[in-house]
């Protein structure tokens, strides 16, 4: 598996397995199958409600801890953020059955972001997580956080896929040493992703599926991808993307699919901010 090197020297696999929207009752099986297929990077979150099941699958896999890269996320915390963030991390570690994480992400750019970040920096210094980062931060938020704190986030996990490519933002993050990680790499199939004619035609040239073309396109540009699937055959398909290379012309053709807009939600929309604030009670 290819890896990327984060700004603190930590190595992270470029392709992993995401578990959003996998019901807790199905997660242990899915993660066990994903690990058996060869995935070593796992991406969960306190808000997904399936950390315990991920932990059981990790335990029963028999894979040495140092060979896995486990990511989870902090949801928006109540004040005082230093205390509640520490407790939230302890809860996640207990649920996962781990003594440290590989990457802890602040899930949303809301609440007492700076208090939460300082607590994450402290957890990093204590060795409770090998890397820290953020998610869903737009450029203004990311730069302000970076400029005004000690540790530059190692990762920013954002919506990015062929229909919302964010190439300028990708460049800005690279300039500041922040690794881009894609969520919703398939846009959850929205907008006809899996039948898109451009992606399908390019795939045909290599005997690859649309899903494989998308993952190849992401990873070839240095983007960490974490496709989700509950089906073992798709888990294997989604890992099989390192035996072909897209040409410059094909990369350019895929860049024309960009609509420049989110297919999910805009974090600047007041209704979304209110909705996420209300969710903090369950996460
Ligand atoms: P996604 O990976 O873009 O798409 C998942 C969908 O694609 C599922 O419906 C899956 O169906 C289908 N699929 C998977 N492989 C396929 C294949 N080879 N061919 C055809 N269909 C395929 O969606 P996502 O789960 O939203 O995003 C990926 C991960 O990103 C999440 O699991 C989570 O870890 C993370 N995420 C983070 C945030 C955040 O705010 N930070 C938000 C969303 C997601 P089946 O399961 O039936 O195969």
Give the DSSP letter string of 200-211: HHHHHHHT--HH
Q: How confident is the model at residue 281 (pLDDT cuts 50, 70, 90)?
A: low
Give the Å distance between the CA of 233 and the centre of ligand 1. 14
Q: For residue 100, give Cα distances in angstroms to 37, 96, 125.
A: 24, 9, 12
Active-site residue, from 20, 39, 48, 104: 48
Using the predicted structure, report yes or no on whether residue 14 has a pLDDT greater than 70.
yes
Nearest Cα residue to atom 13 of ligand 1: 229
As a whole number, mean pLDDT of residues 142-162 equals 97
Provide the pLDDT for residue 283: 56
- The DSSP bridge partners found for residue 43 are 18, 71
Provide the pLDDT for residue 104: 98
For ligand 1, what atom is nearest to the CA of residue 186? 3
C-beta separation of 179 from 152 below 8 A = no
Phi, psi (5° rounding) for residue 31?
-70, -35
Q: For 188-269, where are the alpha helices, taking DSSP H only? A: 197-206, 210-220, 232-239, 248-255
Provide the pLDDT for residue 260: 96
Model confidence over 85-134: pLDDT tens digits?
999 999 999 999 999 999 999 999 999 999 999 999 999 999 999 999 99
State the residue for tokens 């805009």.
266
Mean pLDDT of the chain: 96
Task: Assign domain 3-282 to its CATH superfamily.
Answer: NADP-dependent oxidoreductase domain (3.20.20.100)
Which of 27, 279, 273, 282 has its CA nearest to residue 136? 273
Pocket of ligand 1 (CB under 6 A): 18-21, 43, 107, 135-136, 157, 183-189, 194, 209, 211, 226-231, 234, 237-238
Residue 235, CA atoms < 13 Å, CB-side half-sphere: 22
Per the structure block, which two tokens stand in for 34?
A: 């994903």
Nearest Cα residue to atom 32 of ligand 1: 18
Model confidence over 25-59: pLDDT tens digits?
999 999 999 999 999 999 999 999 999 999 999 99
Give the Å distance between the CA of 188 and the centre of ligand 1. 5
C-beta separation of 203 from 170 below 8 A = no
pTM: 0.97
């Amino acid at each position: 598996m290819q890896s990327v090197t984060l700004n603190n020297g930590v190595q992270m696999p470029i392709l992993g397995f995401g578990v959003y929207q996998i019901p807790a009752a199905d997660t242990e099986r899915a993660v066990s199958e994903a690990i058996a297929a060869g995935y070593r990077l796992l991406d969960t979150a306190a808000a997904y409600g399936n950390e315990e099941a991920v932990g059981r699958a990790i335990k029963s896999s028999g894979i040495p801890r140092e060979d896995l890269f486990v990511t989870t996320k902090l949801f928006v915390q109540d004040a005082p953020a230093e205390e509640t963030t520490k407790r939230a991390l302890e809860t996640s570690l207990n649920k996962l059955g781990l003594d440290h994480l590989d990457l802890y992400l602040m899930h949303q750019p809301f609440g007492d972001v700076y208090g939460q970040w300082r607590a994450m920096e402290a957890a990093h210094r204590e060795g409770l997580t090998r890397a820290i980062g953020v998610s869903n931060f737009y450029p203004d938020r990311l730069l302000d956080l970076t400029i005004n704190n000690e540790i530059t986030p190692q990762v920013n996990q954002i919506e990015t896929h062929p229909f919302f490519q964010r190439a300028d933002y990708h460049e800005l993050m690279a300039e500041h040493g922040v690794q881009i990680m894609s969520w919703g790499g398939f846009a959850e199939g929205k907008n006809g992703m899996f039948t898109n004619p451009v992606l399908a035609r390019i795939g045909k040239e290599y005997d690859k599926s649309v899903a494989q073309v998308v993952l190849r396109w992401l990873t070839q540009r240095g983007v960490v991808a974490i496709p989700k699937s509950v089906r073992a055959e798709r888990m294997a398909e989604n890992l099989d993307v390192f035996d072909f290379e897209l040409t410059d012309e094909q990369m350019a053709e895929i860049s024309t699919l960009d609509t420049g807009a989110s297919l999910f939600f805009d974090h600047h929309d007041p209704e979304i901010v209110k909705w996420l604030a209300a969710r903090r009670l369950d996460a």
